[in-house]
Amino acid sequence: MNFIDTHLLSLILFVPALAAVIILFLPNGENRVFRWFAFGASFIPFVLSLLVWFRFDANQSGFQFEEIYVWYEAIGSSLHLGVDGLSLTMVLLTTILTPLSILASFSITDRVKAYMILFLLLETGMLGVFMALDLLIFFVFWEVGLVPMYFLINQWGSANRNYASLKFLIYTMGGSLGLLLGIQLLGVLFNTYDLQIITAQWSTYTEDIAGIPASTFKTVAFWAFVIAFAIKVPVWPFHTWLPDAHTEAPTAGSMILAGVLLKLGAYGFLRLILPLYPEQARVFAGALAVLATAAIVFGAFASYAQTDFKRLVAYSSVNHMGFVVLGIAAAGLASGTPDAHIALNGAILQMFNHGLSAAGMFFLVGVIYERTHTRNLNEFGGLFPLVPVYGGILIFTSMASLGLPGLNGFVSEFLVVRGAWPILPVYTAIAMLGLLFTGAYILKGIKMVLHGPLNEHWAPAGGEHKLTEINTREILVMVPLMALILWIGIWPAWILDVINKAVVRLF
Amino acid sequence: MATELLIWLIPLPPVLAFFLIVLLTNRNKALSHTVGVGAAFLSWLGSMVVFVRALGVEHLGEHPFVSSVTWLPLGETTDTYFDIGILVDPTGAAVLFFVAWTIFMIFLYSVGYQNFGQPKGDHDQAGLPPHGATVEEHGHRHRVPSVEPMYSRFFAFLGLFAFGMYVLVLSDNLLTLFVGWEIMGLCSYLLIGFWYAKPSAREAGVKAFMTTRVGDVFMLLGVAYLYSATGTLSFREIFTEGVLHTLATVPSGVLGLSAAGLIGLLLFIGAVGKSAQFPLHVWLPDAMEGPTPVSAMIHAATMVSAGVYLVIRMFPLISLDPTTMAIVAFIGAFTALFSATIAVAQNDIKRVLAYSTISQLGFMIAALGIGAYVAAAFHLITHAFFKALLFLGSGSVIHGMEHGVLHTGDHKVDPQDMFNMGGLRKKMPITFWTFLIGGFALSGFPVLTAGFWSKDEILADAFGHGHWAVFITLAVAAFLTAFYTMRQITLTFLGEPRTKEAEHAQETPWTMTVPLVVLAFFAVTAGWVGIPEHFPALGGLIPNWFHEFVGGTLAEHPEAVEFSIWPLLTSLFVALGGLGLGWLVYRNVKTPAEDRLQIPVLKNKYYFDEIYDYLFVKPAYWFAETVIYKFMDQGVIDGFLHSFGPVTDRFGSAIRNYFDLPVINRFFGDGSANVTYWFGGKLRVVQTGRIQQYLMFALVVFIAVGAALYFFLLA
């Protein structure tokens, strides 16, 4: 027991990777074994992170459950893990979504073993980013997450998967280059990669570096960081990899992509950019706000224009994540004010909320795709009477995505708007156009899939429905998501309290 | 039970009913409606208890029922929260009264309207209105109405709707008010599009949601603005002298409005969407696609009232800025007249009522714009009763007509077209008499009906405070109201049946007629609580309780307007004149061709749907698809990205073709190899194998190196 208590974070982090290795040595053949083993293994981090969540003391400042191990002593990098209110929220999101995604993948029949191994490695990669308190470790995990996702899209994706996976990989790697250079610069400068030390010194660093004024250096490094994270979020105009990757990825891949991977980018903004470059974040807040507003508005419009159901949902991520960046931009401009704190509360909660609703939406698209083998909205129509339970769940999840009050999305979007309004009134006002069209594309999706006259192609023939209702396993994937969506919508205090205390202390 | 706790509990039964029906009782129709109607009854009961207790509190305006809990932990310190809670002040209590009654009646009515107890339809399917069933009785077959296939679901949605309205009315802050507001928005979408397989219903649902959402996003900005300007959204904290004074004096930087003015305007735009005021009125007539109880729910009792209720709630804030008030008054008055003119030319019995609703809401908005707070609240309440009555009455008429249609089997006859009716007073006496009461109340029939007292008070206020433009506009609108109401009554109930279907129309079951009678009772009596003190003969007999009670909500008790005979005469003239003229013109009209008011521009609602489609809907889709998606994302951004491929490819080829191959391979790689080879070939001749020759070479090299060393180092 004692071992578990003192190694909680590293257990959460490495249990999935360990499980992946074990699966590698399991005898081939029995798909059921791989599925259940992977599902069970991904449940351990979930239980452990619940343990961390309940033991976490929100009133205590700094990082908790810290662990530090020697890793690369020569250059001053160590395996330093720890969580605060910000990262713990994201860890919880990851450990909730991964088992659900694995459960959602039970319908995969092709090379299940390899699939599950990649999926578990992916979880370790993502968790590592959220827990890392060492810049080099941060970067390592940042890249580690990329590889399994590339193969998941490339091997288990749909028709256009080669293009999509390549675009995803090259785009993200392109962004990583600047990030790596920036991290190296900091490492060389301070002879350590420890995040806490660097943050304390770099944010107030004013000496020239190699004859170049620190401010110039910082500006360049700031943008290197921003572009890396902006691609991942994704912020307009770096977003076009997203609709391709999300659309082509297998269902569970899209769930994790939208649910967690996008949050890595936003997390980078919060963990690294705002603390490391407060000055630059203030100076360039306007530019960020422009991009965020563009993401919100253009994302909504582009989503509205889609005829592919999955692409429609994919573009909705651009729209929703725009609110996260808008909150971050506002906080960068007015750091330290109550307004900024409210905006960041909204941004972080929006990250969590979008994780739930986007994962749910992608899963539901997958459910209908598995049955109809089409994602073309024009080929659906009037399916509601055939699949009433599915329809009800789809409307519920769509409404969460739409930001209906009473469900989770509203709380976070309202907080972002509330926080950003006094700081960036014009951008917030323009963003409302995006909010309006959020309604347009969500209703378009429901209208084209469920409502209207029944498309005869799916009509019940010979007393048997061609289209089968959502099954128990699939409902089980949705129930936790829907419960959380409703719970946060009605009583967000349990999670917002942790977020708020972290935000007030950090920013 | 403590009143505050009771108030907390009022909204819960309907939402529990929603979850119960959706999750458990969905398959059992009787159980579902028992749960639904039972929940509505519990909420009604709670509301009545609260209402009675509220009457017993002296100075309720200063000491309302309040209670709050912490909700969002947002503070800079650990124990500061954003609080939410409940509030029942005089206005809230009065609104709660009518909301509870109308909702309960609508639930009860729905049992009959959705044909509970009737057999399953022959070809009915979920998503379409029931088409009727064939039954065999005494050896011969005949057609009877069939039960709604999604009967349980209907009650679930109604429950959620009721929950939204109760939350809205009982909230002590703008945020939870907005929550209730949007939940109703969702339910209106679901219920208008209840028969979702009909393309028209599907479009109408989306249209209602999107049009009101235009207002909602402005409202959300207003809420955010108010919150950041004052640090709170609680009504009681905002409506204090200090806060209001600050808001009124701080400039907003937009259009020269004060902060209060801009916040008020933003919130008002929300109300414009929800209460279907010009220019966001277009959704409401289409919303008639929903089942009729829904129309009553949305267009009388709850949703459209929500917009006016918001303006009433925020009146202390909105009234701070004269510019905002002028806009409110203008929009209201214009809408009142504008939609009354459209109503004159409609033939669908429900559409007439729809435009009439828009018009009457315009009356209330206009009243608020000229500062007639009490009059607006009064009209809101009386209107809710008589308009719910009229909608349910029209549903009853339609139901009766459908019976006739089933009897004749001619499904081409539109049971909602008033020109297919006539003479229904004999077939459906209860519906007729209650509809007559509702219609007269709507027209403002003097003294007897509630509509007279509330409409008269609005006109008196406009007159008394010298708002001539508003006064004249509303008077004309009131005249048209009486006119089209009488047209409707005449075409529907009077004269002789014009079709076989009308001849075979039948009175509806008690679940439908009882609500009509109850609502008719209020359509008469609800006005008596607000008789002006100096009204000839009647004034003073019953104290003007409404003014005292509701007026007490405001910090500064509003003065009752001084009595004047002119607005009263105007009221009398427009009501009686309109009714009389309507009867005179339409008593002999048999077909639409004989109706001289079927003017295309009115029939087509001034072409607003077409104009909006052309100006907004189509361009928005074009912009989304062609500009944003195809041009920007796929063309410019992806085009730019894709150009990297060929550029990198070419760069790579260039490096290979012009550097790797010639320089590295040929020169260094092949070149060095060739040179070595060549050199080896040349040197081969010296590899003779003879020792003497090697020694000779060695000697020569030794001498040459020695000479070189000597030359460079020693010399």
Nearest residue, CB atoms, A302 vs list B74, B209, B628: B628
pLDDT category of residue B706 using cuts at 50, 70 and 90: confident
Most confident of A194-203, A398-407, A457-466, B577-586: A398-407
H-run or E-run covering A244: helix A241-248
Of the residues B12, B154, B214, B221, the best mutation for testing chain A's interface (the one with the most A CB atoms within 10 Å of its CB) is B221
Distance from CA of B274 to the nearest CA of A (A): 15
Q: Which residues does chain B have within 8 Å of residue A415's beta carbon, measured at their own beta carbons?
A: 72, 74
pLDDT above 90: residue B667: no
Q: Please, which residues 378-397 of chain A have a Cβ atom closer than 8 Å to chain B?
A: 382, 384-385, 388, 392, 395
- Choose among A405, A422, A450: nearest Cβ to B228: A422
Q: Which residue of A has its CA nearest to B635?
A: A240
Q: Is B70 on the interface with A (CB under 8 A)?
A: yes
pLDDT at position A461 is 65
* Of B217, B623, B637, Cβ closest to residue A240: B637
Which strand (E) or helix (H) includes residue B163?
Answer: helix B151-170
Across the range B583-603, mean pLDDT stands at 82
For residue B16, pLDDT beyond 90: yes
Residue B607 pLDDT = 85
Residue A242 forms contact with B (CB below 8 Å): no
Give me the mean pLDDT over the A404-429 stretch: 92
- What separation in angstroms does the CA of B390 have from each of A438, B87, B247? 36, 31, 42
pLDDT at B464: 85
Instruction: Determine the Cα–Cα distance for residues B452 and B459; give it in Å rounded to an integer.
Output: 10
pLDDT: is B646 or B213 the higher one? B213
pLDDT (mean) for A232-245: 89
CB distance A341–B22 less than 8 Å?
no
Q: Is A494 exposed, middle or buried (0-12, 13-18, 19+ CB in 10 A)?
A: exposed
| Of B179, B197, B229, Cβ closest to residue A405 | B179
First to last CA, chain A: 36
Nearest to A383 by CA among A325, A451, A335, A431: A451
A475–B contact, CB cutoff 8 A: no
Structure confidence at residue B326 as a pLDDT band (50, 70, 90)? very high
| 3-class state of residue B170 by DSSP | helix
Judged against a pLDDT cut of 90, whether residue B447 lies above it is answered with: no
> Would you say B577 and B479 are in contact if contact means Cβ atoms under 8 Å apart?
yes
Rg of chain B on CA atoms, in Å: 38
* Lowest-pLDDT choice from A71-85, B374-388, B665-679: B665-679
Q: Are B504 and B407 in contact (CB under 8 A)?
A: yes
pLDDT digits 0-9 by tens, B36-68: 999 999 999 999 999 999 888 888 888 889 898
Query: Where residue A45 falls among pLDDT bands split at 50, 70, 90?
Result: very high
Average pLDDT value for chain B: 86
Nearest to B202 among A305, A417, A451 (CB): A451
3-state class (DSSP) for residue B137: strand
Q: What is the pLDDT of residue B630?
A: 86
Residue that is written with structure tokens 């004159």 in the block: B344
**Are B25 and B19 in contact, with CB atoms under 8 Å apart?**
no
Which of A226-240, A449-463, B348-362, B624-638 is least confident? Answer: A449-463
> Contacts of residue B70 in chain A, CB cutoff 8 Å?
493
Please name which of B280, B272, B193 lies closest in space to residue B612, comparing C-alpha atoms.
Answer: B280
Torsional sign, CA A318, A319, A320, A324: positive
Residues 198-217 of B with CB under 8 A from A: 199, 202, 205-206, 209-210, 213-214, 217
Residues of chain B found within 8 Å of residue A342, distances taken between Cβ atoms: 74
Q: What is the ipTM of this complex?
A: 0.92
- Percent of chain B beyond pLDDT 70? 99
Q: Is B254 on the interface with A (CB under 8 A)?
A: no
Contact list in A for residue B71 (CB cut-off 8 A) is 491-493
Residue B567 in this model has a pLDDT that exceeds 90? no
Which amino acid, B469? A
The two tokens of residue B201 are 């219903």
Which residue in B176, B205, B150, B207 sits closest to B32, CA to CA? B150
Mean pLDDT value across residues B601-605: 81
CA proximity to A138, closest of A9, A233, A267 = A267
Q: Strand, helix or coil at B507?
A: coil
Average pLDDT over residues A460-474: 75
B76 inside 8 A of chain A by CB: yes
Q: What pLDDT score was predicted for residue B11?
A: 93
- Smallest CA-to-CA distance from B35 within B110, B119, B85 is with B110
DSSP result, A396-441: HHHHHHHT-BTBHHHHHHHHHHHHHTTTSHHHHHHHHHHHHHHHHH
The arithmetic mean of pLDDT across residues A455-476, rounded, is 78
Could you tell me if B649 lies within 8 Å of chain A, comparing CB atoms?
Answer: no
Name every chain A residue with its beta carbon within 8 A of the beta carbon of B8.
none
Closest by CA to B66, choosing from B223, B173, B162, is B173
Q: What is the mean pLDDT of residues B612-622?
A: 87
Would an 8 Å CB–CB cutoff place A460 in contact with chain B?
Answer: no
**Cβ-defined contact of B628 to A418 (cutoff 8 Å):** no
In this prediction, residue A464 has a pLDDT band, given cuts at 50, 70 and 90, of: low
What residue has token string 């452990």? A48
Residues A164-215 pLDDT 10s:
999 899 888 888 888 999 898 888 888 889 998 898 888 778 777 777 888 8
Q: What is the pLDDT of residue B540?
A: 67
Is the CB of residue A141 less than 8 Å from the CB of residue A129? Answer: yes
A329-374 tens-digit pLDDT? 999 998 888 899 999 999 999 999 999 999 999 999 999 998 888 8
User: How large a percentage of chain B has pLDDT more than 90?
Assistant: 28
Three-class SS state of A289 = helix
Most confident segment among A1-10, A461-470, B176-185, B616-625: B176-185
Predicted confidence at residue B535, as pLDDT, reads: 77
Please classify residue B203 by burial: count the beta carbons closer than 10 Å to its beta carbon, then call 0-12 exposed, 13-18 middle and 19+ buried: middle
Q: pLDDT tens digits, residue range B104-146? A: 988 988 888 888 878 888 788 888 888 878 887 777 777 888 8
Query: Shortest CB distance from A493 goes to which of B71, B196, B210?
Result: B71
pLDDT at A2: 81
Residue B564: the pLDDT is 81
Q: Which 596-635 residues of chain B touch chain A by CB within 8 A? A: 620-621, 623-625, 628-630, 632-634
Mean pLDDT lowest among A139-148, A199-208, A235-244? A199-208
B2 class by beta-carbon count within 10 Å (0-12 exposed, 13-18 middle, 19+ buried): exposed
DSSP string, A208-223: -BTTB-HHHHHHHHHH
Q: What phi and psi values does residue A70 have, to the nearest 5 degrees? A: -65, 135
Q: What is the largest CA-CA distance in chain A?
A: 81
Q: Identify the residue among A451, A487, A501 best suited for mutation to test binding to B, counting B beta carbons within 10 A and taking the highest.
A: A451
Chain B residue with minimum CA distance to A304? B624
- Name the residue with higher pLDDT: B688 or A4: A4
CB of A487 less than 8 A from some CB of B? no
**pLDDT value of residue B117:** 79
The span from the CA of B578 to the CA of B615, in Å, is 37
- Of residues B178, B202, B217, nearest to A405 (C-beta): B178
Q: What percent of chain A has pLDDT over 90?
A: 66
Identify the pLDDT of residue B40.
93
pLDDT for A463 equals 52
Residue B21: what pLDDT?
Answer: 92
Asked if A452 and B224 come within 8 Å (Cβ–Cβ), the reply is: no
Q: Is A436 on the interface with B (CB under 8 A)?
A: yes
Residue B578 has pLDDT above 70, yes or no: yes
**Substitution target from A291, A417, A427 for chain B, most B beta carbons within 10 A:** A417
